[in-house]
Structure 1
Amino acid sequence: MAEQPDGLITIQDYIRWGATRFNRAGLWFGHGTDNALDEAAALVLGGLDLDPGLPVSFRGCRLTPAERVAVTDLIERRVTERVPTAYLIGRAWFAGLRFDVDDQVLVPRSPIAELVEAGFEPWIDGERIGRVLDLCTGSGCIGIAAALFLPDADVDLVDISPAALAVARRNVAHHGVEDRVRVLESNLFDALAGQRYDVIVSNPPYVSAAEFAALPPEYHREPQLGLHGGDDGLDLVLLILLEAARHLTESGILILEVGNSARELEQRLPLVPWTWIEFERGGEGVLLLTREQLVQHQGEFEGA
């Protein structure tokens, strides 16, 4: 149990103290926040089982002795163990929705949330989306959010990791979408023979070996299976590009996050007409291709 600091009484006291501790420790922020104060607020509020949107007026509330101990311990673990806040409090937010997480899944943070909130428009007419595939689903956040923003669509969540799929199932149940969301174990498309979708969306492992080695400690707390994409980061990306067309409807689209491997992908396949999506809230490295484009460039994917 961490030593209790003197003079800290209210929620805001612990947020301020936590932010100071984080700044002095030189922590990395990249799993939902980008600064020490927001990180401390997320950790303290989460540790008290309060939503991040708690009105500011409540931050003057006093913590009980047991709550002070619990929050202090969380702050100390964040500093000494470099564990992402989402793992410490067991939850994260994506597209305005709460999801359970643990260290068997990546912490949700994809800019694809903006596309989901917009029903994937203007890239496809949201009203005619009947089926969505969330490939390499992890916690299930992208696919489950899609099911909630597209109430008439059926969604398949696919991952190779049984441990990740256990988390996804919890989130499916939490959001009450069992009637429209399936959870399937599969190595990419292996278990999806004959299945076609209007939208395939994927945030696969795409971090290169060199980039992975240089990541801050917080990222090494996440499952390597969800991050490491081979020497150049493109091992799974290229497989998805090769196979996606046969699992899309005639007017279907592929949305694929490749992060910092975007430049390598463009250099490897310079003739492909990549559409790189721009996001209002920040983020990059997300491409879009239609089924027609995937078919037209199939030979290049095969040769890559």
Structure 2
Amino acid sequence: MADITPQTVTGELVTLRDYWRYAISRFNAAELGFGHGTTTAGDDAAFLLLDSLDLPIDTLDPFLDARLLPHERQLLAERIDLRVTSRKPSSYITNHAYIQGVRFFVDERVIVPRSHIGEILFSEYLGEHGSSFLPDPFSVESAVDICTGSGCLAVLAAKFFPHATVDATDLSSDALDVARINVNDHEVAEQVSLFEGDLFAPLAGRTYDLIITNPPYVDHEAMAGFPAEHRAEPAMAHDGGADGLDLVRRILDDAGSYLNPQGGMLCEIGSGREILEEEYPHLDFFWVETAQSQDAVFWITAEALGVA
């Protein structure tokens, strides 16, 4: 396997099925890490191949036996080899990541987006009976995304809250450059404003109907054990301090000053529920269940945060 080059591969492999099988074998042999929207070698290989060919990433079967053109074979062989040799997440290789089927541009300047909050917004607002706890989407006039990264949640907020102005902040100017690409690509530039700064710092005097935030929340022990794929991402996008909750605490302590009455905050925190509930026993957290977790995201109202 180590002696096989992209050039020799393209002479032997013809169909998408050939490249999928080959990629799975290479990924397993290299013991790659996953967790950027995929959890297995098969799923990661499918994403890399389909997205590289601009095919729907969740529809592999109809294309498996399609014969590929020479330039397509070359592209796939090179990207399979790059995935193995660089151990970069596949999203960095294709420059795309998806939240509930919505495509976003990404590169090494931002973490690969995989927030539970995207799933929550889709399930709450596209569900049969509407949201059980979030405000009516047409009543939201202002929203903010703290630690926006690639800007994906700010873009989704603009789509789900059509009457809202949406602000988004990040400490990284590089991340905001990527966010600007996504804001423009999704044609929400008139609705979304980007601010560089530390959490709420650039927003003095502003208040919102809704705060959305997916801050860094990985603890130092977990970061020390990261596979190469996770180490390829910006460390500051993961680093939540010794127990992972440094930024979550700061956001929680300040959020009330930036919320309108009847508003609230949706915050992703990873695995820190017990710590947070012990430190803030007076706060009424509503923990939101997702496909992957029952307590990685909480909703808290402005009233619970002391907003009169």
TM-score (normalizing by structure 1): 0.91
1:111 is the counterpart of 2:116: yes
Paired residue type of 1:243: D
In structure 2, the partner of 1:282 is 292
In structure 2, the partner of 1:252 is 263
Partner SS for 1:254: strand
Does the 8 Å contact 2:50/2:56 carry over to 1? Answer: yes
Which runs of 5 or more structure 2 residues have no equivalent in the other structure? none
Once the two structures are superposed, what CA deviation does each residue of 1:176-222 show, in whole Å capped at 9, x if it has no partner?
11111111112111110111111101000111111111122211111
In structure 2, the partner of 1:121 is 131
Paired residue type of 1:4: T
**Aligned counterparts of 2:26 and 2:139: Cα–Cα separation in 1:** 50
Query: Pick from 212, 216, 221: which aligns with 2:223?
Result: 212
Single out whichever of 58-67 and 107-116 deviates more from structure 2. Answer: 58-67
Does the 8 Å contact 2:137/2:162 carry over to 1? Answer: no
In structure 1, the partner of 2:103 is 98
In structure 1, the partner of 2:280 is 269
**Aligned counterparts of 1:193 and 1:103: Cα–Cα separation in 2:** 30
Alignment of 1:129-144 (within 5 A): 129-144=140-155
Identity %: 41
1:150 is the counterpart of 2:161: yes
Partner SS for 1:127: coil
Alignment of 1:174-193 (within 5 A): 174-193=185-204
1:4 is the counterpart of 2:8: yes
Question: What's the Cα RMSD here?
Answer: 1.8
Paired residue type of 1:213: A
Does the 8 Å contact 1:4/1:72 carry over to 2? Answer: no
In structure 2, the partner of 1:301 is none
Deviation at 1:55, TM superposition (A): 6.4
Partner SS for 2:44: helix
Query: Pick from 35, 51, 57: which aligns with 2:56?
Result: 51
Deviation at 1:289, TM superposition (A): 1.0
**Aligned counterparts of 2:72 and 2:171: Cα–Cα separation in 1:** 38
Single out whichever of 261-270 and 178-187 deviates more from structure 2. Answer: 261-270
Query: Pick from 34, 37, 43: which aligns with 2:42?
Result: 37
Partner SS for 2:205: coil
Once the two structures are superposed, what CA deviation does each residue of 1:120-156 show, in whole Å capped at 9, x if it has no partner?
9221222311111111000111110121122222211
TM-score (normalizing by structure 2): 0.90
1:161 is the counterpart of 2:172: yes
